[in-house]
Amino acid sequence: MPLLIDLLSWALILVGGAFGVIGGIGLLRLPEFFSRIHAASITDSMCAPCIIAGLMLQSGLTLVTVKLAFLVVFLFLTSPTASHALAKAALHGGMDPGRTRRLDGEAEG
């Protein structure tokens, strides 16, 4: 049983880590602002909860697990909101999601 829990928690942590790397690659490689927000929000909504779930399995039924559960809830509420606010601010600031406008100011159109 402890082996199963260990395996499961390591699987979750590795999956979370993989999502973190994917989000990082997306943040660097995707062409324009809004798709980059999408990449960054993967880190928020998949990477962090997966890693925290893995840690919860490691810590067992303790106060630490309760605190980690609070963290997951907080992240689930705030991270997508932050992405939303970012996208909305960019839209408000005149960025056009329809056109692929490069962030570095080249290649308009």
Partner 1 sequence: MDTVVDILLLAFLAICAISILRLRDLFAMTMMFGLFSLISAGLFTTMDAPDVAFTEAAVGAGISTILILATLAQTSRREQATPARSKLVPLAVVWVTGAVLIYGTADLPAFGDPEAPVHNHVGPHYIQESGKEIGIPNVVASVLASYRGYDTLGEVVVVFAAVVGVMSLLGLRRRPPGLRPARGKPDPNDVLKVIATMVVPVILLFALYVQFHGEYSPGGGFQAGVIFAAAIILYALVFGLDKARQVIPPKVLNRLPAVGVLIYGGVGVVTLLLGGNFLEYYALAEDAKTAQHMGILFIEIGVGVTVASVMLLIYFIFSERGRGKRPDEENSDGDGDGDGDGEGAVSRDAGGTA
Contact residues: partner 1, CB under 8 A: 74, 77-78, 81, 84-85, 88, 92-94, 103-106
DSSP-derived 3-state class of residue 32: strand
Q: CB-wise, 93 or 109, nearer to partner 1?
A: 93
Least Cβ distance, residue 92 to partner 1 (angstroms): 7
Q: Tokens 């399995």 appear where?
A: 57
CB 106, min distance to partner 1, A: 6
The token pair at 23 is: 């989000």
Residue 70 belongs to what H/E stretch?
helix 63-92
Q: How far is the CB of 4 from partner 1 (least distance, A)?
A: 25
Cβ nearer to partner 1, comparing 30 with 87 = 87
Report, in Å, the least distance between residue 83 CB and partner 1. 10
Across 22-54, b (16+ Cβ under 10 Å) vs e yields ebeebbeebebbbebbebbbbbbbbbbbbbbbb
Using the minimum distance from each CB to partner 1, give the nearer residue, 29 or 88.
Answer: 88
Q: For residue 102, which amino acid is it?
A: R
2/105 with CB nearer partner 1:
105
